[in-house]
Amino acid sequence: DDKEARLVETIRALRESHTHTPDVHVVDPACFRRVPNSPFAYWVSDRVRNMYSDLPLCESEGREIRCGMGTLDDFRFLRTWWEVNERSAGRSKESESGRSTWFPYAKGGGYAEYYSPIPLVVNFRNNGKEVKQYVEMKVGSASRKVQAESYYFRPGITWSSRTQLGLSMRSLPKGCIISVKGPALFADEELLPALLGLMNSKAFRFLVSIQVAFGSYEVGVIQRSPVPALRGPQWQRLRELAQSSANARLALGTAIETNHDFHLPSLLQTAGDWLAERVAAWQTRVSVVERTLLDYSKEVDEIASTLYGIDQGPSLMQGQSLDPASSVADDEQELNEEEGSTTETTDPQTLAAELVSYIVGCIFGRWDIRFARQDRPTPDLRGAFDPLPVCSPGMLLGPDGFPTSHAPESYPLRIDRDGIIVDDPDHDDDIIRRVRDVLEVIWKNRADAIEKEACEILGVTDLRDYFRKPGAGGFWDDHIKRYSKSRRKAPIYWLLQSSKKNYALWIYYHRLDKDILFKALLNYLEPKIRREESRLDELRSQKTALGPATKGAKKLDKDIDRQDALLSELRDFEDKLRRSANLHLDPDLNDGVVLNIAPLRELVPWKEAKSYWVDLMDGKYEWSSIGKQLREKGLVK
């Protein structure tokens, strides 16, 4: 705290030849050259500096480290994996034949050891023809950004090249494309798990941190970091620990519906008569996994220190810890949000919201409710280096292995085939009625009690309140946050809401077609308006029959005013929906969510829809299908 006094004391000790103090380092400057790029690493011992010349480098002995592709226009060439049609997804070099368009794209991410979801896909159709042409047009040569192409689709170890959250290594599944921000190490597949363990050790991170300014983990730094000999039982143990750590993270990730491995939400992976019991059970499960991972991490650190010949105590490092710099930037939370948090939630409200989200997915036929009823066995967990599944194990799939809009024979739930459900208590497809159908399938005669408890946890008076609330604490806002990853917002259940929030349609993105808005008008909104007109006529007839001065006339006047206001609200909704429908646009999922939702800007309570519509009208995104259609119709400025 008193830097001046400490400095004076240290200088006095040094003048008196007392050099063995924590603040004095006596180093021959020539020894700095032993570390790549000669950093001013005065605080480490000669033994540590000698490791960079005495041990093999990370890029040697068959290990290769490469930086991957940069698109120069991520909005155009990247999507979240759930935005695109699963039939256009690829996992190998079959892109060269033009059968697939979208491939998993490793682009760094938040701090995550051993395993992290890969939410992005990149357009690499026809061996990346479109992105290569674009890059060549921008910088003169495609190879300047589309780098290390021969390493695409190979399994490896990846990390975030620049992050204030610290170096963390995670598995790179087979079938992915590496990026500029998500480089990777490639080696014999048998060695990858053990290397993954070693590179997540404090010893390896310390040897990396000596070379760099905090937060920069470029390819060259990892290439030049030393690695001990790859042999002996300790390497086998590192392999086992790394595989167990990655599998533990994978297993928890099966409860996150934006993950490729999603199976069931947290509250359906645990047991209990009440949701509160299931919340507690999930919290316990996560806590046990975290403690287990901590034990694994300690053993990894011990093995790595032994392999490097590093004492974990302070003597060798002259008072310095093996940990890399522990301080992080003030904007750590912001970085987590930008890159996508990989932490499993245990917050009761979030867990309840995830359950409701799953239920909506069951209604639309996205998820297979038979898993929730335990009519189907729990899917096997894939390995951390195995290819990502094209369709999540929890999806409702047809005989061809792709999502279907047709319920299988004897399926316990009616699914919504047209991709539209409505906030209308009088309609068979009313969202609350449909949610209750799902609750009854899962909880049978306890469905009402579970619904009430869910509302209490969510902090709402009833489910309709939760679905109608467009801001914080409502389903729509929760859904946007859940389906936003790596700076892309891609909600797949769209809220089209009337001005006073008394009526709404929910549209499933993966059922979009050129007629869906007309179907919404014909099958939902127009019949609703006719019913409400009949009710208004009936109220007016009752008033006429009673006479203006009779008892109950004032109440009828108020009822008539309310009904008239509702009709005005519905007709306004109809006008806006018809304007969008009359554009006669043919949706293309390859354009992504934000461009497809833009024509509904007047009805969607989401500022992004409005801003992207303005951009489309200004002629931006001319490469997109919707941009081309609007230009052909003469609507672009």
Task: Please compute the mean of the pLDDT values over residues 226-233 and round it to a whole number.
Answer: 89
Residue 409 and residue 422 in contact, taking contact as beta carbons nearer than 8 Å: no
Q: What is residue 349's predicted lDDT score, i.e. its pLDDT?
A: 96
Cα gap 380→24, rounded to integer Å: 56
Cβ neighbours of residue 330 closer than 8 Å, sequence gap 6 or more:
none
Q: What is residue 96's predicted lDDT score, i.e. its pLDDT?
A: 54
Q: How many helices (H) and strands (E) does the chain have?
A: 22, 13
Task: Please compute the mean of the pLDDT values over residues 256-263 and round it to a whole number.
Answer: 97
CA distances in angstroms from 197 to 133, 154, 218, 295, listed in the order given? 39, 19, 20, 13
Kindly list the strands in the beta sheet with 493-497, ordered across the sheet, starting from the edge strand earlier in the chain. Answer: 420-423, 504-508, 493-497
Closest CA to 195 of 184, 182, 206: 184
Q: Is the pLDDT of residue 619 over 80?
A: yes
Q: What is residue 326's predicted lDDT score, i.e. its pLDDT?
A: 38
Task: Give residue-wise pLDDT tens across range 464-506.
Answer: 999 999 899 999 999 999 999 989 999 999 999 999 999 999 9
Task: Please compute the mean of the pLDDT values over residues 419-446 and round it to a whole number.
Answer: 97
Q: What is residue 438's predicted lDDT score, i.e. its pLDDT?
A: 98
Could you tell me where the beta strands, DSSP code E, fall in 452-610? 484-485, 488-489, 493-497, 504-508
**If you average pLDDT over every residue of the chain, what do you get?**
91
Task: Give residue-wise pLDDT tens across range 275-315.
Answer: 999 999 999 999 999 999 999 999 999 999 999 988 765 43
Cα four-point dihedral sign 353, 355, 357, 360: negative
Q: Is the pLDDT of residue 593 over 60?
A: yes
Q: What is residue 310's predicted lDDT score, i.e. its pLDDT?
A: 83
Task: Please compute the mean of the pLDDT values over residues 448-473 and round it to a whole number.
Answer: 96
Task: Give residue-wise pLDDT tens across range 156-210.
Answer: 999 999 888 889 999 999 999 999 999 999 999 999 999 999 999 999 999 999 9
How many other CB atoms sit within 10 Å of the CB of residue 401? 12
Task: Give residue-wise pLDDT tens across range 31-47.
Answer: 888 888 888 888 888 88
Residue 438 and residue 370 in contact, taking contact as beta carbons nearer than 8 Å: no
Q: Which two tokens stand for residue 43?
A: 């605080």
Cβ neighbours of residue 485 closer than 8 Å, sequence gap 6 or more:
80, 119, 120, 258, 340
Q: What is residue 320's predicted lDDT score, i.e. its pLDDT?
A: 42
Q: Is the pLDDT of residue 228 over 80?
A: yes
Task: Give residue-wise pLDDT tens across range 47-83.
Answer: 888 899 999 999 999 999 999 999 999 999 999 999 9
Q: Which two tokens stand for residue 85?
A: 């049609």
Weakest mean pLDDT among 49-53, 245-249, 516-520, 564-568: 49-53
Q: Tell me which residue has tokens 């946890």.
A: 457
Go through the chain and tell me how many residues it has. 637
Q: What is residue 313's predicted lDDT score, i.e. its pLDDT?
A: 53
Cα gap 366→395, rounded to integer Å: 6
- Angle of helix 526-546 relative to helix 553-581, nearest 10 degrees, comes to 160
In angstroms, the first-to-last Cα distance of the chain is 63
Q: Is the pLDDT of residue 317 over 80?
A: no
Which H or E run includes 234? Answer: helix 233-253
- Angle of helix 202-209 relative to helix 46-54, nearest 10 degrees, comes to 90
Q: Tell me which residue has tokens 């930086």.
A: 67
Q: What is residue 444's predicted lDDT score, i.e. its pLDDT?
A: 95
Q: Is the pLDDT of residue 451 over 60?
A: yes
SS3 351: helix
Q: What is residue 344's predicted lDDT score, i.e. its pLDDT?
A: 66
Task: Give residue-wise pLDDT tens across range 319-361.
Answer: 344 444 333 333 333 333 334 444 568 899 999 999 999 999 9
Q: Is the pLDDT of residue 213 over 80?
A: no
